[in-house]
Structure 1
Amino acid sequence: MDDEEARTRLLDAAEALFYADGIQAVGMDRIRTESGVPLKRLYRLYPAKESLVTAYLERRDRRWMTSLREAVSGAADPVPALFDWLADWFCEPDFRGCAFLNAYGELGPGGPAAVLDVVHRHKAELRSLLSDLAGPGEELLADQLLILVEGATVVAALDPGPAPARRAREVAQRLLDTRASAGG
């Protein structure tokens, strides 16, 4: 097994375990066992748990944002498409809410700086995408969409399924309709 395969196996195991059980509940030995990567190589590739958590969140961010961007960029009406994408995500069998909010909630504002940086960058990137969807000069609408996305995600974490995304989509549509009827 080369380093690239070891990295992939470690990140796959870390993502599954951290997302399902939490960052603090999962030790490096458990990741080693699940991945089949020797402990010495694990620590050579990721010298501290913080570096593995950071890499897991960075990889998840890239995959999540890429998938979301693809869903809205090809849609005739991107805001409803956003919430349809969320509804599909909320129905995934292993859905456990937002990995970034989970990490922040678990580690708190005093958590490892590198991990918190990934969390903040992810949320800024999501906010930027929503700003693009809202359009120029629509910063308030972008903030409202962000609250709807985050709120639906938290509600779905407690009660998985498409309903929170559908309700958030209805609210988003009302916001868009109100803005359209007001002329902006």
Structure 2
Amino acid sequence: MGTAQQPQRITMTRAGRRVLEAAERLFYERGIHAVGVDLIAAEAGVTKKTLYDRFGSKERIVVEYLADRDERWRAFLARYLDDHLDPADATPRARILAVFDASRAWSEEYGSKGCSMVKAHAEISDPAHPAFPVIAGQKQWMLALFTRLAADLAPQGADRLGRTLMLLHEGALVAHGLQVFPDPIAHARDQAEALLRQEHSM
């Protein structure tokens, strides 16, 4: 799969930021198709004209919503790795497991209903939709991250290990959103840790 082309971002005005914050809350809680521009404008305290002046269309608001979530997740993960890993202890295994820890922390604070990209993909599966590259690009980035981290631990099996870690991680996010069983991300972390011990012993 090739790398998805990421969209050019809109420069946010104060009113545009209010629209985006309202849209994020509504899209994540209720679903993209269920939320119209009238409700977004009302929740943001702006007119529909202002909304369209800033974004042009609902599709563009969806793009900005998802791109903003992705940008904030990547920054959150980078800060988490910096804050929770002492450089002296930042082994490849520790860095991989810290991704699961970061996802658990993010989900507790921002993701009670699961992964926003997975939720969005359930409603947007057409590659021609302008938000599709954001969704696909985020997952491609996560796979590349796991593969890169795996390469530091098992250079010969990085692709295989990266994909397995990605599956554990993504499955945990879906289970978290569906509330299938308690704390699936911690369970996935335990399984990842067992897998990494096995890799290290090979």
Same fold flag (TM > 0.5) = yes
Distance 1:59 1:90 in 2: 16
Say what the alpha-carbon RMSD is for the aligned residues: 1.9
Give the C-alpha shift of residue 144 in structure 1.
Answer: 0.7
Mapped partners of 1:89, 1:157: distance in 2: 13
Q: Deviations over 1:50-78 (max 9, x none)?
A: 01100111111100111113323552211
* Contact residue 149 and residue 168 of structure 1 kept, 8 A: yes
State the shift of 1:129 in Å. Answer: 1.4
- Residue 102 of structure 1 corresponds to 119
Aligned residues of 1:53 and 1:115 also touching (Cα < 8 A): yes
User: Aligned AA for 1:24?
Assistant: H
Stretches of structure 1 lacking an aligned partner (at least 5 in a row): none
Q: Which amino acid aligns with 1:143?
A: R
Are 1:88 and 2:105 counterparts?
A: yes
Tell me if 1:180 matches 2:200: yes
Distance 1:20 1:51 in 2: 19
Tell me how far 1:161 sits from its aligned partner. Answer: 8.5
- 2:8 alignment counterpart: none
In the alignment, the residues of structure 1 paired with residue 54 and residue 169 of structure 2 have an alpha-carbon distance, to the nearest angstrom, of: 35
Letter in 2 for 1:35: A
1:15 aligns with one of 8, 19, 24: 24
Q: CA deviation at 1:87?
A: 2.0
| 2:186 matches 1:166 | yes
**Aligned counterparts of 1:93 and 1:66: Cα–Cα separation in 2:** 14
Matched residue SS, 2:132? helix
Which range moved further: 90-99 or 56-65? 90-99
Aligned residue pairs total 179
Give the alignment's TM-score, normalised by structure 2: 0.82
| Amino acid in structure 2 at the alignment position of 1:124 | Q
- Do the aligned residues in 1 keep the contact of 2:143 with 2:166 (CA within 8 Å)? yes
> Are residues 100 and 93 of structure 1, via their aligned partners in 2, closer, same or farther at CA, if it must alter by over 3 Å?
closer
Percent identity between the two aligned chains:
36
Q: State which drifts further: 128-137 or 139-148.
A: 128-137
Preserved CA contact (<8 Å) 2:175 2:181: no
TM-score of the aligned structures, taking structure 1 as reference length: 0.90
Q: Report the alpha carbon displacement of residue 110 of structure 1 after superposing the two structures with TM.
A: 2.4
Runs of 4+ with >3 A deviation: none
Equivalent of residue 68 in structure 2, options 59, 69, 84 = 59
